[in-house]
Chains A and B, each alone.
Chain A
Amino acid sequence: MLKKILFNNQVKSQLIIAAVGSFLGFTFLITSIHYLIRVNEFGEGEEILGSNSIIIQKKVSNYNTINLAKTDFGENEIDHLDQQPFIEHVEPILSNSFGVSFQTDSDLVPYFRTDVFVQSVNSDFLKFDSTLWKWSEGDEFVPIVLPREFLVMLNTFASAKGLPQVSDELAKSIRFKFKLYNDNSSEYQAARIIGFTSEVSAILVPSSFMEYGNLGFPTAVPAKVTQLMISVKEGNFGTFENFMEERSLESKESSMIVGKLKSVAGTLFGVVMAISIIAVFLASLVLIQYAQLMMSKNAYEIKTLLRIGYAPKSIIQAIIAYFIKVFALISVLAATSFILLKFIIDGIMIKGGIMISSSFTFLSFSSVILAFVIYTAVNYWNAQKEILRAR
């Protein structure tokens, strides 16, 4: 009966407009938060370098191209760097001087082969468990760290060919092999991915494997050191950056595809999230205003109910319960739409070679629960104020 008295004379069009606004806002809010989290997670935990470690190289200019300036580091230069007070440790990044190609060696994935170049870094700079990061002749496989964009490219290739995508976990279980060669001989070595990186653009191998290849398959091309791994003393990054500028050195960190991809997708979802928050805020304001208007229109009914003995609490509860149902319906519809949208967006991401986790994010659904709680609290406070004012 209370429902009949309080909700019969409504202007439903205003409620429908506010509900549609809330529904759209909620749908985009859940979607944007979910993908903001998933895109940020993409490639996360793959930083294999310590927080103070950095890869540097010489800036490439036209002089380099016409061989008037060198891009490699000599021993003197490395020693000079090592003596700088702000540098803790310098190690050359070794590159291969032997021919090396990389290919799949499993029935699980289609055949894929490419020439690559590999690098090795001293294990002191890596965050890996050092027991995993070792190789000696006769071992079952060479542990490798694969650049993240390599897998993105592999998946893009697979997608274009209509082949199934390779997830991180699947990639780790697939057998690969290196072919080491020079003009005179060649050899295969099994390889297995133990991690991914967004920081280095070459396949990383243990130093012992690099030495084995350089010694066993020497070529006329000498193994030049074009990149150095440097560990900078805590709090000295500013001094070090000035030093790099003076010496025409540059760090390697910001040129990665994955970083850019994450940045673009992150910004996009960030903008969508900001718009969604504004939409949810405005729609909630309209809904709250609607509740207030409804109470004002029913001022006589509320006053009369109080005068015949209805408790303010029971009237407030009837009003709040009604709007909780409206909000719950909006939330359920938004969550359902998000699940459908997720199905489509996940498909687009996978097609683009970005393998993100397909599980739902707690935070995206929590945002709706939070908005729900805030709305209900404000509505309750308003209803209480309005009803206690009536006597």
Chain B
Amino acid sequence: MTITFDHVMPHPLSSIQHGKDSIWGNAFRLEQGQKVVLNASSGKGKTTFTHTLAGIRNDYSGNLLFDKQAVRDINPEHWAIHRREKISFVFQDLQLFPELTVQENLLLKNDLTNTFTEAELKKFLAILGIPEKWDDPCKLLSMGQQQRVAIIRALVQPFEWIILDEPFSHLDKANTELCLELINARCNTLGAGFILTTLGDYHDFTYDKELNL
């Protein structure tokens, strides 16, 4: 799936002067399989970017297209299909269910997509260093642990793109590397791409494309 930005301009940002290489007000395409980074400091509009891609915000001018389909024309039932099969997200606020255990949070998604076995899910937790958290309610986990659960949940489905909004903000360097490695491996398996927003750190990864605000 190709993502096309055709002079997209969020209404709240329209009064600000944007550069020629900015994602806002310019035209560019993201090809499937590309590894893309968006590096910017806080409050610059990274979440506006991911929420626009996620269909959560429609308050923009210009056109945003998935292949040839305008994102703002996708109806709620079709969004459900897109979110199950084509595009996955790690939101900055994680969007986990705090009362549910790690197992329940992961199975909630896995039951929908039937992607992995429970053993495979546990293996993901082990890879990211939290195998013992399987039965713990998410509300008892630290932010870093919750981020890893949210990343695994986002991988538990087929996708063509995965959008990650500051997914490593509470992780140390070693854990960030483990997570990025896992994400990259899953993307390679699926032939998918990712868009990673980050707060100034490139996490020692070589990207195909960098976006600017």
Please give the residue numbers on chain A whose beta carbons come within 8 Å of chain B beta carbons, in ascending order.
1, 4-5, 8, 301, 303-304, 306-313, 388, 391
Contact = CB atoms under 8 A, between A and B. Distances in A.
B185 interface: no
A7 to B, nearest CB: 12
B83 to A, nearest CB: 4
Given A1-B111, A304-B95, A309 B76 contact: no
Interface string B14-47: 0000000000000000000000000000000000
Given A1-B111, A306-B76, 4 more contacts: A303-B95, A307-B54, A309-B84, A309-B109
Contact of B80 (A4, A8, A301, A312): A312
Contacts of B95: 303-304, 307-308
A109 B122 CA distance: 84
A61 B109 CA distance: 91
B56 interface: yes
A5 B107 CA distance: 13
B79 interface: yes
Contact of B107 (A1, A303, A306, A391): A1
Contact of B55 (A5, A311, A391): A391
Nearest to A2: B108
B97 interface: yes
Interface residues of B, number: 26
B104 interface: yes
Name A's interface SS: helix
Contact of B77 (A301, A303, A312): A312
Nearest to A313: B77
A311 B112 CA distance: 10
A309 B54 contact: no
Contacts of B153: 308
Contacts of A311: 77, 80-81
A388 B76 contact: yes
Q: Which of B54, B76, B100 counts the most chain A CB atoms within 10 A?
A: B76
A307 B89 contact: yes
A308 B76 contact: no
A310 B100 CA distance: 17
B99 A8 contact: yes
A310 B80 contact: yes
Contact of A5 (B81, B100, B112): B100
Nearest to A391: B56
Contacts of B161: none
B97 A301 contact: yes
A309 B113 contact: yes
Nearest to A304: B95
5 contacts: A5-B97, A5-B99, A8-B99, A309-B80, A310-B112
Contacts, number: 54
B146 interface: no
Kindly list the 9 A-B residue pairs having the minimum CB-CB distance in the complex, ordered from nearest: A309-B84, A311-B80, A309-B83, A304-B95, A312-B76, A391-B56, A308-B109, A1-B108, A388-B76
Nearest to A308: B109
Nearest to A387: B76
Contacts of A1: 100, 104, 107-108, 111
Nearest to B89: A307
Contacts of B124: none
Nearest to B86: A309
B91 interface: yes
A308 B96 CA distance: 10
A173 to B, nearest CB: 66
Nearest to B78: A311
B106 to A, nearest CB: 11
A307 to B, nearest CB: 6
A308 B77 contact: no
A323 B54 CA distance: 31
Contact of B108 (A8, A308, A312, A391): A308
A309 B54 CA distance: 11
B157 interface: yes
B107 A309 contact: no
Nearest to B85: A309
Contacts of A5: 97, 99-100, 108
Nearest to A300: B95
A304 B97 contact: yes
Contacts of B80: 306, 309-312
A2 to B, nearest CB: 8
Contacts of A306: 76, 79-80, 83
Contacts of A308: 83, 95, 108-109, 112, 153
A380 to B, nearest CB: 15
A294 to B, nearest CB: 15
B90 to A, nearest CB: 11
A307 B54 CA distance: 8
A309 B162 CA distance: 13
Contacts of B100: 1, 4-5
B97 A309 contact: no
A59 B97 CA distance: 85
A303 B89 CA distance: 14
Contacts of A304: 95-97
A388 B80 CA distance: 12
B91 A307 contact: yes
Contacts of B55: 391
Nearest to A9: B99
Contacts of B107: 1
